[in-house]
Amino acid sequence: MPPTLRLRCAAATAVTVTVTVAAALALAPGSASAGPVDDTAQTRVEIPGPEGKGAVEAGSGHTWVPVTSGTASRTGRPSPAESRADGDVSSLVDNGPTGDRLDVVIVGDGYTLEELDQFHADAAKRWAEFTGVEPYTTYRNLFNVWTVDAVSQDSGVSGDPGKDVVRNTALGSYFWCDGVERLLCVDEKKVDSYVAKAPEADLVLVLSNSSKYGGAGYNTPSKTLGYEGISTASAGNEKSGQVAIHETGHSLGKLADEYFYADYPGYEKYEGKEPGESNISTLTADGMRTNRTKWYRWLGETSPDGGLVGAYEGGGYYVTGLNRPTDASLMRILDKPFSLPGREAMIGGFYRHANPVTPRVPTDRTLRRRDIARVDVPRLSGERQLDIQWYLDGKRLAAHQGRTAVPVSALPLDSPSFRRHHLTVVVTDRTDAVRDPAVAVTLQSTATWSVRY
């Protein structure tokens, strides 16, 4: 383990946490020297902010931990009942085919065979917390949620309640990771062995059977299974869920942290190039308007996390030199909403995995007069719904706007006709929560059939 440094975080009440030298190097956006050389042996994780009342930082730095770190393996042979239950996959939320939905996989750790019902209840409660936060609330029907049963020998996880407690669990979850009590790490290879059992995984949540505050963000995409990242959380602690939602801001929204380190040498002022993340910038508000970049389209708007969108000094771990869109979004403070620019980035992340149109009739099949072209289109929460338009040979069929089924016999085709026509449905999300054309263009999907009488 490399030597450690003490970082003092700017929170409501300043706290001190321990991170490795490699972690300190990793804090600098775009740092070519950050992290270990062998990234197959170690992985970068985000340390959650300290538990406390009121406003606290959503995160407090990063560190590097072994990919296969965790507690000891099982000491005895599993019973036949344990073997049968281990790895069972259940559908918690089913909104359509995996290829057209953003698939979340929840795996539990520290749950014995007798506690699997509690795991399922904990998973349902935690997902309800996710869908209580925008834009998850509006887009909840774009998601499938799977649970995978991991049967542990011991109940609970290592490091709870004390540092000396060691438990044998399926995923090796443990507090005091890298010497930080609230950093809840897992054995990634063990996690992957269970995630692989689910039909598909775009995002992974590991729930540990504990009420102790803690979590971690593994925001590096999986090279083998393709999911965006792993968030860990204590199932029985209310604040831990907020940490997990914050982590999806990184994995799905590709958002930077908006907190900063006060009084720490090297982080007084950022002097690097313009960061790639959409929610931090070296530019002032006027500079964004002039260059028509970053969140300039949102400047002056009232944000759900409070105040107006502007250019607030501090972010990306630096006290000065980088600006953030608002003073106190979820990317800086727990229990706050995403900012307007953050919400836009999250919606774009949802649509990287979710397709809003699912043909119920195969598109490689030629439709005849008696056929009906049918599609499934997820409903959004609230009054606004996805826009559905139909086209025949490129000409819009106004009479069928908003429909999810169109009979071929109702099409204005020449009769008799043996010419091949093309029937297309276009589903578009015209949300006013997205203003960036580069994001808006991804909020549309089509399906096309050949049609002949």
* Boundary of a domain, candidates 238, 272, 304: 238
Specify if 158 maps to a domain. yes
- Domain with 395 in it: 357-451
Whole-number pLDDT of residue 413: 84
333 closest CA partner among 270, 242, 212: 242
Residue 17 parent element (H or E): strand 15-20
- Location of structure tokens 């995996």: 98
CA atoms of 445 and 430, how far apart (whole Å): 12
Q: What token pair was written down for 23?
A: 């972690």
Specify if 89 maps to a domain. yes
Whole-number pLDDT of residue 33: 26
Specify if 65 maps to a domain. no
CA atoms of 2 and 63, how far apart (whole Å): 11
pLDDT band for position 280 (50/70/90)?
very high
Whole-number pLDDT of residue 173: 96
User: 231 and 88, same structural domain?
Assistant: yes
User: Under 8 Å CB-to-CB from 26, ≥6 apart: which residues?
Assistant: 34, 35, 44, 62, 63, 64
Question: pTM (2 decimals)?
Answer: 0.87
pLDDT-wise least confident of 13-17, 216-220, 417-421: 13-17
Residues 100-123 as b or e (16 or more Cβ within 10 Å = b): bbbbbbbbbbbbbbebbebbbebb
What is the share, in percent, of the chain residues with pLDDT greater than 90? Answer: 74
User: 92 and 225, same structural domain?
Assistant: yes
CA atoms of 150 and 116, how far apart (whole Å): 8
Whole-number pLDDT of residue 451: 95
Helix (H, G, I), strand (E, B) or coil at 80: helix
Specify if 34 maps to a domain. no
Pinpoint the alpha helices (H) of 303-441: 340-353, 437-440
pLDDT-wise least confident of 71-80, 207-216, 261-270, 378-387: 71-80
Specify if 411 maps to a domain. yes
pLDDT average, residue stretch 168-194: 94
Bigger pLDDT: 216 or 7?
A: 216
pLDDT average, residue stretch 364-374: 95
User: 233 and 90, same structural domain?
Assistant: yes
For residue 13, pLDDT beyond 50: no
Specify if 333 maps to a domain. no
Bigger pLDDT: 63 or 344?
A: 344
* pLDDT tens-digit readout, 20-48: 323 332 333 332 222 333 345 788 888 88
pLDDT average, residue stretch 180-191: 94
For residue 344, pLDDT beyond 80: yes
Whole-number pLDDT of residue 282: 98
For residue 93, pLDDT beyond 90: yes
* Boundary of a domain, candidates 194, 212, 238: 238
393 closest CA partner among 365, 419, 422: 422
pLDDT band for position 66 (50/70/90)?
confident
Specify if 43 maps to a domain. no
Say which CATH number the domain at 159 has: 3.40.390.10
As a whole number, the mean pLDDT across the chain is: 87
pLDDT band for position 56 (50/70/90)?
very low
Bigger pLDDT: 266 or 344?
A: 344
Whole-number pLDDT of residue 20: 33
Whole-number pLDDT of residue 50: 74
Whole-number pLDDT of residue 30: 32
CA atoms of 297 and 289, how far apart (whole Å): 8
* Boundary of a domain, candidates 238, 262, 284: 238
C-alpha atoms less than 13 angstroms from C-alpha of 368 in its C-beta half-sphere: 1
Specify if 252 maps to a domain. no
User: 215 and 86, same structural domain?
Assistant: yes
Domains in the chain: how many in total? 2
CA atoms of 93 and 81, how far apart (whole Å): 26
